[in-house]
Amino acid sequence: MVRELTCIVCPKGCQLRVELEDGAVKSVTGHTCPRGLQYANDECIHPMRTVTSTVRATDGRVVPVKTDRTIPKETMFACMKLINATVIELPVSVGQILLPDLLGTGANLVATANME
Amino acid sequence: MKQIDLVIVGGGPAGMSAAVAAYDSGVKSILILERDAHLGGILQQCIHNGFGLHRFGEELTGPEYAWRYEQQVLERNIPYLLNTMVLDISPEKVVTATNSEEGVFQIQAKAVILAMGCRERSKGALNIAGTRPSGIFSAGTAQKYVNLKGYMPGKNVVILGSGDIGLIMARRMTLEGAKVHAVCELMPYSGGLARNIEQCLNDFGIPLRLSHTVVEIHGKERLEGVTIAKVDENRRPIPETREYIPCDTLLLSVGLIPENELSKTAGVQLDRVTSGAVVDQDRQTAVEGIFACGNVLHVHDLVDYVSEEAEIAGKSAVAYIQGLTAERTDIPLTTDGKIRYTVPQRITQKKDVTVFFRVADVYRNVTIRVSDGDRVIYSKKKLKVAPGEMESITLRPDQFADAKALSFALEVK
C-alpha cells in the first residue's frame, strides 16, 4: 500500500510518499530532512501531535499552554478535556509545568507565556 | 523637543528584532512605541506552535517566540513605551505620539523604522449579500476572543478564506468543541501552508471547499446560516450550485493589508501590489532615513522571515545614522506579472542583495530568470511555486553591477 502525506514538521510542507507492507514502513520518498523521515514513519505507525490551548487562571484570565512534546493524535480531545477542567494559580512563567505527564503520555502541559 | 536617534513604530516581532539589531550595531538611543499593553504584537494571540524553526532551530508557539525577543530587548535595556499611539510621522522624521501619561508629545528622530504590521481585510471589503447579524468575525478577532479572552464566539462555524489564520482557527475552534462545517476558498488553491491544510483541516475531517464562496448571509439578530456556491473560472458564483449551511458563526480569513496610514503622512511612496512601502535593499523607503520592515512592508508567511528582514532594517538604520554606505547605484526591479512583486523594489548599493518575491498563481516546473535587458544574470529552476509561499534569491554585485534595470520573470514549461 502507498500513502501520500504532507509533512507537518516545518512550513515547507514536503509531499511524502510512504510504501507500506503488512503495516510496516518499507520506504519513504519526498522528504528533505531526517525529521521528515521520522514524521513519515510515526504518521503511518502511530500519528503524534503537539496540542496548544489555554488554561483558565483563578482570576478568570487565560494562560497559553502547550504539550512539551507530541502526544498520540487520538488522545488530543481527552487532553483538551483535562486542560479545560484545570484552573491554575498565577503567576506563571514560560516553560513552567502546569500538568505533569498528561494522561500518561509522558508529555507535560507547560505555560508558553509569563503572566502575573 | 525630545531627540532620539532611532524611533521604531511598533513593538511586535519586526519592531523588537529591528531594535535589537540596531542596538547591537552601535546605536543606543532607541525608543520603541507600541500601542498595545505589551510587546509582542499579534504573536501573543498566535498560541499555536510552528514559529522559530529558522531562527531558533526549534518549534515555538507565538508567545514563546515573542518572549525570546522581548528578553533580548530587556537585556539591552532598550526603552519602549506601551499603550502609546503614534499619530503622525513627518518627512523630517518628527514623530507625534500620545499616551494617557504624557498626553501628546513629539520626538525628533534621526531615523525611523516603520514596523506597524498589518490588519485583516474586513467583511465590508467583500460585499456579501444578505443581512448583517452578529456572529461574523474576522479570523483574527475570533483568535483574540478564544486565545486571549477565553471566550468562544460560536458553536457551528463556516470559514471563508483559507489563509493560515482561518486554518489555524478551524483547528482551534474544533479543539474547543465547536463544529467547523466547511472552509470555503474562492481560488482553486489554498492561500495557506500545506502543513496547515494537513494538521488543521485533514486531522479533523474539516472539508476544504476550493472554488467556493459565501454568496448570502442569513439571520436577523444572530447568524443562522450561509449560502455557499461554487464559482466558475472567472470567480463568478454558479447559481445552480447554491447550498445552504446552517451555522451561528462565520469567520473571514480573506487576506491581510499592511497598515500604512502613518507611512502616507510621512510621504513614503507605496507599492500598489504589496500595499507596503517601495524600498531598497536596506529596507529604506523613498524618504531618506525612514525604513520599513515586517508585515507593514509586505505580508510574510513566517515570522522568522519578519525577524530577518527587521534585522536588515535595524542595521541599515544604524549605517544611515552613522553615514556609512557601500558604493551607490540605482537599479529598479521590475516583474512580469507571473511574479507579482519583489522586495526590495530598487537596488541602490553595490552589495549582496536578497530579493524576496511572490508569484501570482500555482506554477510547476518553472525557471526563475533575472535579466538586464537581453542579458540573463541569474536563473534557477523550481519544481513548484505558489502564491502562499514567498520565494527568495540572492544576487551578488558582480552580477548586477552595470545593470540599468533588472526584470524578474517566470518561465513556465
Question: Structural domain tally of chain A?
Answer: 2
Residues A102 and A61 in one domain: yes
Residues A21 and A41 in one domain: yes
Q: Provide the shortest C-alpha distance from residue B214 to chain A (in Å).
A: 28
Determine the Cα–Cα distance for residues B116 and A92; give it in Å rounded to an integer.
Answer: 29
Mutation pick from A94, A110, A115 vs chain B, by most beta carbons of B within 10 Å, is A94
What pLDDT is recorded for position B23?
Answer: 98
In a domain, A32, yes or no: yes
Q: Please report the DSSP string for A52-68 in residue order.
A: EEEEEETTS-EEEEEES
Domain housing A39: 2-45
List all residues of chain A from 28 to 47 with a beta carbon under 8 Å from chain B.
none
Residues A64 and A31 in one domain: no
pLDDT tens digits for B316-344?
A: 999 999 998 778 899 999 999 999 999 99
In a domain, A93, yes or no: yes
Q: Which residues of B touch A76 (CB under 8 A)?
A: 175
User: By CA distance, what is A74's nearest residue in B?
Assistant: B203
Residue B20: pLDDT band by 50, 70, 90 thresholds?
very high
Q: Is the ipTM of this complex over 0.90?
A: yes
Residues A60 and A105 in one domain: yes
User: By CA distance, what is B389's nearest residue in A?
Assistant: A12
B393 Rama class: left (phi>0) / alpha (psi -120 to 50) / beta: beta
* B298 three-state secondary structure: coil
Residues A22 and A65 in one domain: no
The full set of domains in chain B, from first to last, is 1-120+256-325 (3.50.50.60), 122-254 (3.50.50.60), 326-413 (2.60.40)
The reply to whether B74 touches chain A by the CB within 8 Å rule is no
pLDDT tens digits for B61-95?
A: 999 999 999 999 999 999 999 999 999 999 999 99
- For residue B149 the three cell numbers come to 479572552
Q: Is the pLDDT of residue B124 over 90?
A: no
In a domain, A95, yes or no: yes
In a domain, A7, yes or no: yes
pLDDT tens digits for B126-156?
A: 678 888 899 999 999 999 999 999 999 999 9
Q: Which residues of B touch A15 (CB under 8 A)?
A: 194
Residues A71 and A103 in one domain: yes
Residue B402: pLDDT band by 50, 70, 90 thresholds?
confident
Nearest CB among A11, A62, A112 relative to B61 is that of A112
The arithmetic mean of pLDDT across residues A68-78, rounded, is 96
Determine the Cα–Cα distance for residues A44 and A37; give it in Å rounded to an integer.
Answer: 11
Q: Do A80 and B175 touch (CB under 8 A)?
A: yes
The arithmetic mean of pLDDT across residues B204-225, rounded, is 96
What pLDDT is recorded for position B182?
Answer: 98
Residues A98 and A66 in one domain: yes
In a domain, A102, yes or no: yes
Residues A41 and A57 in one domain: no
Residues A106 and A56 in one domain: yes
In a domain, A104, yes or no: yes
Q: Which residues pair with B372 in a beta bridge?
A: B375
* B117 three-state secondary structure: coil
In a domain, A116, yes or no: no
Q: Give the number of other CB atoms < 10 A from CB of residue B57.
A: 7
The arithmetic mean of pLDDT across residues B43-61, rounded, is 95
Q: Is the pLDDT of residue B192 over 90?
A: no
Residues A38 and A11 in one domain: yes
Q: What is the CATH number of the domain that holds A62?
A: 3.10.530.10
